[in-house]
Amino acid sequence: MAAKWSSIVGVSADQPHVRFNPLRGEWVLVSPHRLKRPWSGQVEKGGDEVVPPHDPKNPLCPRAVRANGEVNPDYDSTYVFTNDFPAMPPGAPDLGESGEHHLLRAAKAQGTCRVMCFHPRSDLTLPLMALPEIRRVVDEWANQITELGRSYLWVQVFENRGKVMGCSNPHPHCQIWASSFMPNEPGRSDANQLKYYEEHGAPLLLDYVQLELKKKERIVVETEHWLAVVPFWAVWPFETLLMPRRHVQRFPDLTDSERDGKLASSHISFPSPAPALSPQTSVWP
């Protein structure tokens, strides 16, 4: 949608308006007056499922047998393996780009998909783990991005937690997808950040960090090295954006202090109805 930028100053708390998302290059409709509706939406019950520390039938647990017949090692920290049901199987043939019509185009999608278990216990989540345990997770993220980045154009680490978000296994884990192509979302964000840098001579997110530090209106967590905010253009409930306070190009470039600082940011906790075990999606970097 096309819209001219204008300051949010003077906009009533009940007045509908649009906000610009500079990463996606699009406008977001904000309708705060709809909070006055008599129905506030479906409220799901909290997760009352009891998860045991170890379930021999859970394919992500140590010593468990996975669907392909492989037995997990008796791991005591992080554990990474190739997904048994990958969206992009490694070694897929290069089909090139083809299409019988210019509106019916297809191209190769080569890559690999890995699963990374954070901890041997199934009843823990990242915010409930000890700081040294979280540091090992952060370091393994960096290791995986470095290793896969040598062979693939893009490496994406993400975690879906909870059945509502499409995750059927409660064991603490994430997905690591590496692909020969740039996915739409990071590609759009990369292009918009480059455009911003060419126009303003500074990194977009670094300017945004300084702006939020100055305004102090949407800060969730502020540490020496990190800033977590509810972004001005947020669309998801409890949406947060975690940013380093200096310009960091790649996740593996984080210093030891910054990796330790990320641990405190990983312990972000929200009041009810968003407990530590609530459904969520997290994407790094």
What is the rounded distance in angstroms from the CA atom of residue 96 to the CA atom of residue 123?
45
DSSP 246: S
Residue 122: both structure tokens together? 């199934």
What pLDDT, on a 0 to 100 scale, did the predictor assign at position 2?
Answer: 45
Query: Measured between alpha carbons, how far is 199 from 13 in angstroms, rounded to an integer?
Result: 32
Q: Is the pLDDT of residue 94 over 80?
A: no
- Ordered by start, the domain boundaries in the chain are 185-270
For 100, half-sphere exposure in the C-beta direction (CA atoms, 13 angstrom radius) is 0
Q: Which amino acid is at 65?
A: V
Cα distance between residue 263 and residue 225, in whole Å: 11
Among 35-49, 157-171, 182-196, 200-214, the least confident range: 35-49
3-state secondary structure of 263: helix
Structure confidence at residue 42 (pLDDT): 76
Lowest mean pLDDT among 21-25, 123-127, 230-234: 123-127
Residue in the block written with tokens 């859970």: 58
Q: Has 247 been annotated as catalytic?
A: no
pLDDT at 176: 96
Average pLDDT, integer, range 250-264: 87
If DSSP codes are grouped into helix, strand and coil, which group holds residue 160?
A: strand
Q: What is the pLDDT of residue 121?
A: 97
93 pLDDT more than 50: yes
How far is Cα 256 from Cα 236, in angstroms, rounded to an integer?
31
Distance CA(232)–CA(21), nearest Å, equals 8
Average pLDDT, rounded, for the chain: 86
Q: Is the pLDDT assigned to residue 7 strictly greater than 60? A: no
CA angle 79, 83, 88 (to 5 degrees): 140
Return the percentage of the chain with pLDDT > 70, whole number.
82
User: Is a pLDDT exceeding 70 seen at residue 4?
Assistant: no
- The superfamily CATH assigns to domain 185-270 is HIT-like (3.30.428.10)
Point out the catalytic residue in the list 33, 119, 171, 173: 173
pLDDT at 91 over 60: yes
| Average pLDDT of span 108-118 | 94
Query: How many other CB atoms are there within 10 angstroms of residue 196's CB atom?
Result: 19
What is the tens place of the pLDDT at every residue in 26-73? 999 999 888 888 887 777 676 567 899 999 999 999 999 999 999 999
> Residue 95: is its pLDDT beyond 60?
yes
Spell out the SS3 assignment of 56-114: CCCCCCCCCECCCCCECCCCCCCEEEECCCCCCCCCCCCCCCEEEECCEEECCCCEEEE
Q: Report the percent of the chain where pLDDT is more than 90.
A: 63
Say which range, 40-49, 208-217, 233-242, has the weakest mean pLDDT: 40-49
The three-state secondary structure class of 30 is strand
